Structure 1
Amino acid sequence: MFKKAAVLVASCGALLAGCGTDLQTENQEIVSNLIEAGFRADDIMIVDDSVYVGLDAQVSLTASREMLQHDKQTQEQFRTTNLVGTGVTKICVVPTSQFNSYPNLSAGLDLAIDNYNSQGLRLTFARGSASDCTATISAKTTTGAGGSSGFPTGGKPYGTINIGTGTDSYGADVCEHVITHEIGHTIGFRHSDYYDRSISCGGAASNEGASNVGAILIPGTPSTAKVGGSIMNSCFRASETGEWSTSDKTALKALYP
């Protein structure tokens, strides 16, 4: 039934010996770890008390934990040629009344702002207008799920993020992820898998190219992408937590210390 069950496998005996009567709990952790590591939920199955991915690869608890440890070391970031200039110190994100009417979008915006402010960058973010804003981003709604924005010009962040109202149904954490992602573009971050969007989006390989904005590898981050490896991956999953990866933090501090 499974032709290549040796991939990522600890022996069946080793798996069962570690489980005892708590096999179901272990399998739940394995599935959770696989999803966090970037595997699609519909590509995971439990057969005869063992967890498989891709129909033929049995995964032990130890292997699933090692995937998460490896994932922290294989993330990456790219930036545009243009960045936000030193004259910008406080960026105010101003949501529309319609944006505020969606509870998870509104909560996600607060969480996204906290994401940036928690890193001790030279840029700080605030919700709403203030007299000391040196740049402003409007947070607006659009149809569907996900979002869009743009890249910096003239030393200023792009002035608008558009977040699909359908994103609200995914919950506050996914909204946090999407909003953090779109703000990331406004200050100069490219997609971490810009060179092959299929890594996070699936389907055929698709290269966004450097275009006229550039795609410069940020020092201290690897050059290859992984599903779930960065907030700046092209596509998001329903399981996103909205939190920075280690590489995301490295990239932020490299550009805006």
Structure 2
Amino acid sequence: MFKRAAALVVSCGAVLAGCGTDPRIENQEIISNLVEAGFPADDIRVVEEAVYVGRDAHVTLEASREMLQPGEGSAEHYRNANLVGTSVTKICVNPTSMFSSYTRLSEGLDLALANYNALGLRITFARGPTTGCTANITAQATTGTGGTAGFPSGGYPYGTINIGTGLQSYSVDVNEHVITHELGHAIGLHHSDYYDRSISCGTGGSEVFPGLGPVHIPGTPTTATLGGSIMNTCFPGNTTGEFTSSDITALQYLY
């Protein structure tokens, strides 16, 4: 998630846990799997030994292997082949002490969790530490004015969202928007304007090949518009941080 029309480079502290395996070898397989799944090579980047697609979505080796299954077409709202399983009912988002020290990031997190909990989904979100968690996500601070996350794997949400401390100088609504967006990735949502990032960013081409990899969510629009989804690639400065009607349709269909 990036500010509209800003040319930013993903920078975060994500490092692949290779369990003794050379990260470069794992990354080669991840990239190969992504290309096979339909992601163009020029949309894949390696930052600090971690592989990213679509600017802000970290892909692990396990997740890349799970992506190698047939897609079902694509449109404005779409999801990853991997979703959060039914065994997960309460996702606890645990901010680090550094994250919580930034007041607007901290307030934005509370508002983002409220966005999801207002929808009556089968999964609920809670700010940790707390009890009864069936899955956990760590919210940590990083540099810049955007965020990064990843896609679900093994039936669990991606375990980390990275939020730029530069967002402290933006409104609470912007912080709410970026955190809601990255949590969307963590439970399986892709960018709404994947086929033309210039819709929300002002510049940029397609993110993935249409018809390959993404799975369309029934009932959602077939075209993206500026401000039409919290899952657009870039955020507008005047965002309210709230879900649009099509966002709600997508989430209620999935969860």
TM-score (structure 2 length as normaliser): 0.69
SS across alignment from 2:126: strand
Q: Deviations over 1:213-243 (max 9, x none)?
A: x311100001211111000000001111000
User: How many angstroms apart in 1 are the aligned matches of 2:85 and 2:227?
Assistant: 30
1:248 is aligned to 247
Query: Equivalent residues in 2 for 1:11-160 (5 A)?
Result: 76-160=76-160
Counting only pairs closer than 5 Å after superposition, residues 215-254 of structure 1 correspond to structure 2 as: 215-254=214-253
Percent of aligned pairs sharing the same letter = 63
Partner of 2:50: none
Contact 1:91/1:134 (8 A) holds in 2: yes
Distance 1:238 1:217, change over 3 A: same
Instruction: Give the Cα separation in 1 of the matches to 2:164 and 2:235.
Output: 13
**Structure 1 residues 210 and 165 mapped into 2: Cα distance closer, same or farther (>3 Å)?**
farther
C-alpha separation between the residues in 2 aligned to 1:87 and 1:137? Answer: 16
- Paired residues in the alignment total 183
CA distance in 1, matches of 2:204, 2:110: 35
The residue number in structure 2 matching 1:168 is 168
Partner deviation per Cα, 1:14-71 (whole Å, 9 max, x = no partner) = xxxxxxxxxxxxxxxxxxxxxxxxx99xxxxxxxxxxxxxxxxxxxxxxxxxxxxxxx
Check 1:137–1:210 CA distance in 2 against 1; reply closer, same or farther (3 A cut).
farther
**What TM-score does the superposition give when structure 1 sets the normalisation length?**
0.68
Structure 1 counterpart of 2:49: none
Counterpart Cα distance in 2 of 1:192 and 1:97: 32
Q: Which residue of 1 aligns with 2:70?
A: none
What is the deviation of 1:134? Answer: 0.3
Kept after mapping to 2: 8 A contact 1:196/1:208: no
Q: Unaligned regions of 5+ residues in structure 1, if any?
A: 1-38, 41-74
The alpha-carbon distance between structure 1 residues 143 and 82, as it changes in their structure 2 partners (threshold 3 A), is same
Task: Report the Cα distance in structure 2 between the residues aligned to 1:221 and 1:175, rounded to whole angstroms.
Answer: 25
Q: Distance in 2 between matches of 1:93 and 1:193?
A: 27
CA distance in 1, matches of 2:136, 2:196: 32
Check conservation: 1:76, 1:248, Cα contact below 8 A. no
Moved more, 195-204 or 243-252: 195-204
Are positions 1:197 and 2:197 aligned together? yes
> Do the aligned partners of 1:81 and 1:215 also contact (CA within 8 Å) in 2?
yes
Q: How far apart, CA to CA, are the structure 1 residues paired with 2:143 and 2:237?
A: 18
Q: 1:170 to 1:211 in 2, by over 3 A?
A: farther
1:203 Cα shift?
1.6
The one-letter amino acid paired with 1:201 is C
Q: Answer whether contact 1:76 1:230 (CA < 8 A) is retained.
A: no
Supply the AA of the counterpart residue of 1:172.
Answer: V
What secondary structure does 2:199 align onto? helix
C-alpha distance in structure 2 between counterparts of 1:231 and 1:244, whole Å: 6
Q: Distance in 1 between matches of 2:204 and 2:174?
A: 25
Q: 1:135–1:156: 8 Å Cα contact kept in structure 2? A: yes
Structure 2 unmatched runs, 5+ = 6-74
Question: Could you tell me which amino acid in structure 1 is paired with residue 220 of structure 2?
Answer: T
- Structure label with greater radius of gyration: 1
